[in-house]
Structure 1
């Protein structure tokens, strides 16, 4: 198997855990696993033995957590959504529109932007 197959396995394992990997982490994966072979769910590293994709991913996360970001999951249930995500979905109420009618200047601009983002 090629390094691409190993990289695909690492990316798939990260996605299964809810993470996306940035390009710096992917470069690290390519360097760490150069010359390695994928054997099922084990990575055979020349001269060092084998380790599972999951163990490699955990080690990679421990070494460079900033290279991992949470995947966006728009179809997740409301209980798992953040307050910001839910706020964007909630319609603006009559009280909000009443306050908007009484403001001007930069406040009005910001409120107009909020209304556009929620439409």
Structure 2
């Protein structure tokens, strides 16, 4: 088996758990498992024994959690949305509209664009 097959197995296991791996993490996989062989769901690491793909993935996640991300899903619930996504949907408060009413120049035009993008026309 080639290292590519092992990397594919690790990627598949990550996808099955709902994760995508970044390129730096995949480089770590290639380094960690160089010279290893894959027999079914077991990775045989020369001089170190065997471990399952799931166990390796768990260990990798513990060592490099920033290399794991959740793929973007258009139908994800609010609990999984980013701050930016939530901010776009949140209504502008009264204090924001008060500042908008006093703003001038480019600040006023930028704030007007923000209000328009959120479907609000208060304070114009």
Per the normalisation by structure 2, the TM-score is 0.67
Which residue in 2 is equivalent to 1:48?
48
Given the alignment of the two structures, is residue 60 of structure 1 paired with residue 60 of structure 2, yes or no? yes
Structure 1, 100-109 or 7-16: larger mean CA deviation: 100-109
* Offset, 1:35: 1.2
Q: Distance in 2 between matches of 1:44 and 1:20?
A: 24
1:27 is aligned to 27
Q: Distance in 2 between matches of 1:45 and 1:57?
A: 14
Q: Which region of structure 1 is more displaced relative to structure 2, 55-64 or 105-114? A: 105-114
Paired with 2:88 and 2:106, the residues of 1 have a C-alpha distance of: 21
User: What's 2:122 paired with?
Assistant: none
Q: Which runs of 5+ in 2 are unaligned?
A: 120-124
Higher Cα Rg: structure 1 or 2?
A: 2
* TM score, norm. by length of structure 1: 0.69
Unaligned segments of structure 1, at least 5 residues: none
- The count of residues paired between Structure 1 and Structure 2 equals 117
